[in-house]
Structure 1
């Protein structure tokens, strides 16, 4: 689903059809309600997840939901209101893989502007190799670099995060990566 800058049609406060115009003291066109003057802002959605590692292998989940049903991904999902990015990443890892982890820091920040999202992945150490996929995963499995199903990865952000990880591991130095994937 591509980002639609005119997706808002009606005011969330009163239900009146909105007008698109640049409000006073702003510099961008926004959905503005002509009845109650509410200005509606559209902001990127945050996706949070982890790159869980056990020894020399990474944990991937096979998706049991759309989009990209049946393809492999890192455990990740939408950040909920009222939680930090770290809390969301831990929750998503538990929900999708049933994995116990220790977060090791923010690893990739990836802008996906065409769909209005920002993906944040944390490096994580698996506390044990026992995990149980949740309702959104068909399977959860550990992969060495040579076993990664590169052609069956669900999202480009996952591919880029894995690429960064294996490159950094070879260099024996992990750093924060900020990327744009369109």
Structure 2
């Protein structure tokens, strides 16, 4: 369910584009967005974890297991209005335990649960900004459109995915470039 808070948070997120053009790039604090937690347990997997706010920062942590054809934990925020049509990238301020994590985008055209666009990013113990060009996201299946239209994006997920590992990634802020 999309709440009023999610709609307001998306409006704040989208406003960062015009603010960035006038005053330098501005990102939306992760605490201003509404996050939900998902795991492979919805389809029989056994990964365990959680997503929580700690001192204004989103922290996704847990154990990712590929047993039972699983292999992910995720924190997702809804973007009911999409991104600005002229957005070319996402920018995140992140830190983590040195593992590779992913951003999954769902759009108006990703109807099945296993459909998404994915791009990875590296983490380390210090805060760093990562920029993920929209053209760098790859479709999870062959039957999906090759390019993402920013205005079609409906959710952004921070995902620990695809291999057995301990996950611990934090996101302080994100925005559209």
TM-score, structure 2 as length reference: 0.24
TM-score, length-normalised on structure 1? Answer: 0.24
Q: Looking at CA atoms only, which structure, 1 or 2, has the larger radius of gyration?
A: 1
